[in-house]
Amino acid sequence: MPRARSASARPEQVRLAGMDVQLTRKRVKNINLRVRSDGTVAVSAPHAVSLAEIERFLCDKQAWVARARSRVASAPEDACAHASAEEQQAWKETVQAFVPPLIQKWEAVLGVKAGKLAYRNMKSRWGSCQPSTGRICINTRLAAYPPECLEYVVVHELCHLLVRGHSARFYGLLDRALPSWREARARLARPALGGGGRVDDDTDEVRSRHVQGI
């Protein structure tokens, strides 16, 4: 006996009409389009609708998507401060989808191997690394920022697998690996996270500018 389709499948990342799209199959009658506060293009569509039909729909809506993304891209800090539980879950799903390929890419470049990956909505740090275990934690709020910010945090944490602390040697490694890292850090230095927080002795982390020693 064939298995019945679930009411809602797990979101998948697809590229349609030149856009990265978070697509969810649901028991709905129409194709629904939304640009979340983090700029993610989210589409829900009936199980029976083909990708080609969804792509045609998105092509017709490209101008609307561009306008919506422009509005949210100008103020990710506001998105972080006023995000709903649904939006926070969307951040987590987005970061979980994009971090593993970045880890794989930069592991090869740096010659390191990360341990367990974790994702948390944090107010005082962008990411952290425990060199002793290889565990890396990424702030899900990075989904509200440009992709280069997420890549910077990933590279920063992976560099800590080679060099603990924020010494001249560490920043030299970061310069060689990702010369544009300062631009990404400057973007993250805007007060989106709020203050507070501390540094654990066995943890190297990227934090907001409100926490000393970013």
Dump pLDDT digits (tens) for 180-198. 999 999 888 764 443 322 2
- Kindly state the average pLDDT of the residues 161-182: 95
Angstrom distance (rounded) from CA 201 to CA 58? 48
The reported pLDDT for the residue numbered 40 is 83
Flag whether pLDDT at 79 surpasses 70.
Answer: no
pTM assigned to the model: 0.60
pLDDT > 70: what percent of the chain? 79
Name the helix (H) or strand (E) containing 117.
Answer: strand 117-120
- Kindly state the average pLDDT of the residues 38-64: 91
Dump pLDDT digits (tens) for 16-27. 999 999 999 988
In the block, tokens 């506060």 appear at 37
Flag whether pLDDT at 77 surpasses 80.
Answer: no
Q: Which strands sit side by side in the sheet containing 204-207, from one edge to the other?
A: 117-120, 135-139, 125-130, 204-207
The reported pLDDT for the residue numbered 11 is 85
